[in-house]
Structure formats: structure tokens, C-alpha cells
Amino acid sequence: MARISLSSNLATYTGGETKLELEVANVRQLFHALGERYPDLRPRLETDLAVAIDGEVYQDALLQQIAGDSEVLLFTKIAGG
């Protein structure tokens, strides 16, 4: 199972939980599973979050693959300009 870590600022949407393990094949499945588990987080998943998979950061990567032994970090996208 992939090890998922959520940045601490997301804990307000997850009841304080920031670490979990999930069996998902890609980021879209991850977001679906997280939305089911944490409904308050659902509106932010596809628009507000960036994803790091095994140390590589993706900002729009719904189809990016997640291996069973991956480490995944979700955090707020960094705005630039």
C-alpha cells in the first residue's frame, strides 16, 4: 500500500489525521478515496493541492501512477506570478 502524508494545514479537513495507507493506482483514485474518507477535503483535492510522489512534485497529475510502495505527500499548491 502507498504511504500517504497530508501537510499539517490539511489536518483541519481530516479530523487531525495526516498519515494513512491506501491501495490506489493513480492520483485520481487517491483523490476519490480521500474525498470519500474526508468529505470536507473533497472540494480542495483537484484545485488546491499539489502531489509529490516519491520525491517528484506534480501540480496537475490526475493520471500519474502511484506504485504500491510509493510515498505520497499532499500539500497546498504554491501560487506564483
CATH number of 10's domain: 3.10.20.30
Q: 64 is in which domain, residue-wise?
A: 2-76
Distance separating alpha carbons of residues 76 and 80, to the nearest angstrom:
13
Asked if the structure places residue 81 within a domain, the reply is no
What is residue 80's predicted lDDT score, i.e. its pLDDT? Answer: 65
Residues of the chain whose pLDDT is less than 70? 80-81
What is residue 38's predicted lDDT score, i.e. its pLDDT? Answer: 97
Distance separating alpha carbons of residues 18 and 51, to the nearest angstrom:
14
The percentage of residues in the chain with a pLDDT greater than 70, rounded to a whole number, is 98
Distance separating alpha carbons of residues 25 and 8, to the nearest angstrom:
24
| Count of domains for the chain | 1
What is residue 50's predicted lDDT score, i.e. its pLDDT? Answer: 92
